[in-house]
């Protein structure tokens, strides 16, 4: 029997805010968080980034964990978002033994690993046992540690679709009857590891990114975290909590076209979106807004535009990329942008595609300043596409539907 997947809590942190309220205000007022590098230690100061406006020390003070030395920035960001999600869902420590946590990350604790790189080359090996603990799975364990004993911890690393795939995995677990409640999302901090990697691939822009614009040349990297509490509707009723919205559909496909590039016709993206629509029992015209993956790279935006046109035809819904606000938060992006979509449903607005100026015939025309919904938004679609063509789409719907 198909179960309704309710979202009963959410938490978020990114370059545009700490928590849902400040994040909402930034989206409503078109305030970008992309600025010059402040916290990441790199010589490449020419690239703007979407950094969370708190140092590690400030994050630790906020969380009350000043004594912890092994918690990476990814984990600190995650704890902020996870704490907000659990609080909103009214989930307490004693209840977590029946709750699963699924977290997406690819960088994990790489920022701490980098701190020891120079010392390691000098022959200092006494830190190797600690360094070995900075893998993605250990990062999830450190994220969960202060909250209590979750029934199960899982980590997903599918690059930029990781958090969306964590949400899909959680929904499937509930559908299969494995559990009633899953907290799913993702976290990623900026690190030299992936910053230099994207730079080597020549995917970074020296200016604020402009997804779908004719003059786009690349992305701005960002960081952050977000988690959603997924729950069967029956469980939410038993606990007496009011759903914020429902996860009505989702799809994941892998076209394996290339290690980093998207296919010219957007095959993986097209299949993911159509699978999400089918699982939700919706038609393309039912979608009131699309949060595009929209990285700002020439390849991604052209490919995603082709996929969107294949799905929606000539009558496209309002579409925008919020990476012009936050930068590309890689493994966390699917969850961060899912929270943005929940805000769209709740507050009935269209996030602006910042910095867009010039139309590209190969791309969709995104939402620009001042646009308002022409009709009530009931269903929204959120895209998250990863390297290797691992593409995921999520559909969120208002509860009354």
DSSP secondary structure string, 217-245? --B-BB-EEEEEEEEEHHHHHHHT---SE
Q: Which residue has the higher pLDDT, 398 or 128?
A: 398
227 and 253 share one domain: no
Give, to the nearest 10 degrees, the angle between helix 136-144 and helix 73-88.
Answer: 40
Same domain, 231 and 90: yes
Q: Decide: pTM greater than 0.85.
A: yes
- Structural domain range at position 222: 5-239
| Catalytic, out of 100, 136, 139, 160 | 160
**Per the domain annotation, does 244 fall within a domain?**
no
Per-residue model confidence as pLDDT tens digits over 327-362: 999 999 999 999 999 999 999 999 999 999 999 999
Residues 225 and 282 in one domain: no
Q: Are 227 and 360 in contact (CB under 8 A)?
A: no
pLDDT tens column, 148-197: 999 999 999 998 999 999 999 999 999 999 999 999 999 999 999 899 99
Total number of domains constituting the chain: 2
Which ranges constitute the DSSP H helices of 152-251?
A: 162-175, 192-200, 233-239
User: pLDDT of 82-113, one tens digit each?
Assistant: 999 999 999 999 999 999 999 999 998 888 87
328 in catalytic set: yes
Question: Which of 239, 265, 295 is at the close of a domain?
Answer: 239
Task: Give the active site residue among 328, 341, 363, 379.
Answer: 328
- Assigned token pair, 361: 């015939």
Active-site residue among 136, 139, 209, 293?
A: 293
Which parts of 255-332 fold into alpha helices (H)?
A: 267-280, 298-312, 323-326
Residue matched to tokens 């198909």: 2
Look at the block and give the residue holding tokens 């040349």.
Answer: 217
Sign of CA dihedral 96, 102, 104, 109: positive
pLDDT at residue number 264: 72
Which pLDDT value is given to residue 259? 66
Q: Dig out the tokens for 16 from the structure.
A: 């545009």
Identify the weakest region by mean pLDDT among 69-73, 237-241, 281-285.
Answer: 69-73
- The values of phi and psi at residue 185, to 5°, are 170, -145
277, with CB counted inside 10 A (0-12, 13-18, 19+), is buried
* 224 and 265 inside one domain: no
Which of 239, 257, 274 is at the close of a domain?
239
> Do residues 232 and 262 both lie within one domain?
no
Task: Note whether 30 and 114 are same-domain residues.
Answer: yes
235/316 same-domain check: no
Are 101 and 168 in contact by the 8 Å Cβ rule? The answer is no
The residue ranking higher by pLDDT, 92 or 260, is 92
What pLDDT band is residue 124 in, cutting at 50, 70 and 90?
low
Share of the chain above pLDDT 70, in %: 94
Res 122: pLDDT: 47
CATH code (residue 24) = 3.40.47.10
Which of 209, 239, 269 marks a domain boundary?
Answer: 239
User: For 120-129, 137-146, 374-383, which range has the lowest pLDDT when averaged over its residues?
Assistant: 120-129
Mean pLDDT lowest for which of 58-62, 244-248, 371-375?
371-375
293 is a catalytic site residue: yes
**What per-residue confidence (pLDDT) applies to 131?**
66
Does residue 61 sit in the same domain as residue 177? yes
Q: Is the pLDDT of residue 51 over 60?
A: yes
Examine the domain organization and report whether 345 and 364 are in the same domain.
Answer: yes
């Amino acid at each position: 029997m198909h179960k309704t997947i309710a979202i009963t809590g959410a938490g978020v942190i990114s370059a545009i805010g700490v928590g849902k309220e400040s994040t909402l205000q930034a989206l409503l007022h078109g305030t970008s968080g992309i600025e010059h590098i402040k916290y990441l230690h790199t010589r490449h100061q020419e690239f703007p980034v979407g950094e969370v406006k708190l140092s590690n020390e400030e994050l630790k003070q906020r969380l009350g964990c000043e004594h912890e030395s092994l918690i990476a920035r990814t984990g600190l960001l995650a704890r902020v978002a996870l704490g907000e999600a659990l609080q909103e869902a009214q989930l307490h420590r004693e209840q977590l033994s029946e709750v699963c946590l699924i977290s997406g990350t690819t960088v994990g604790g790489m920022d701490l690993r980098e701190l020891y790189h120079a010392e390691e080359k000098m022959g200092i090996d006494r830190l190797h046992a600690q360094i070995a603990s900075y893998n993605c799975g250990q990062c999830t364990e450190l994220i969960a540690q202060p909250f209590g004993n979750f029934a199960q911890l899982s980590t997903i690393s599918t690059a930029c679709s990781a958090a969306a795939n964590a949400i899909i995995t959680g929904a499937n677990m509930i559908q299969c009857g494995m559990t009633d409640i899953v907290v799913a999302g993702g976290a990623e901090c900026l690190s030299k590891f992936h910053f230099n990697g994207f730079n080597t691939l020549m995917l970074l822009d020296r200016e604020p990114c402009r997804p779908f614009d004719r003059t786009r040349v690349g992305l701005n990297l960002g960081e952050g975290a977000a988690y959603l509490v997924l729950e069967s509707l029956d469980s939410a009723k038993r606990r007496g909590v009011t759903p914020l919205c429902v996860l009505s559909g989702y799809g994941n496909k892998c076209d394996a076209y290339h290690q980093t590039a998207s296919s010219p016709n957007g095959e993986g993206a097209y299949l993911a979106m159509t699978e999400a629509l089918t699982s939700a029992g919706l038609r393309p015209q039912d979608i009131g807004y699309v949060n595009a993956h929209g990285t700002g790279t020439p390849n991604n935006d052209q490919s995603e535009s082709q996929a969107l046109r294949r799905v929606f035809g000539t009558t496209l819904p309002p579409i925008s990329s919020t990476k012009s606000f936050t930068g590309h938060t890689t493994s966390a992006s699917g969850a961060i942008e899912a929270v943005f979509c929940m805000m769209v449903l709740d507050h009935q607005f269209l996030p602006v595609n910042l910095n867009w100026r010039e139309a590209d015939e190969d791309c969709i025309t995104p939402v620009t300043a001042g646009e308002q919904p022409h009709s009530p938004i009931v269903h929204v679609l959120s895209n998250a596409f990863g390297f290797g063509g691992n593409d995921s789409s999520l559909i969120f719907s208002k509860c009354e539907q």
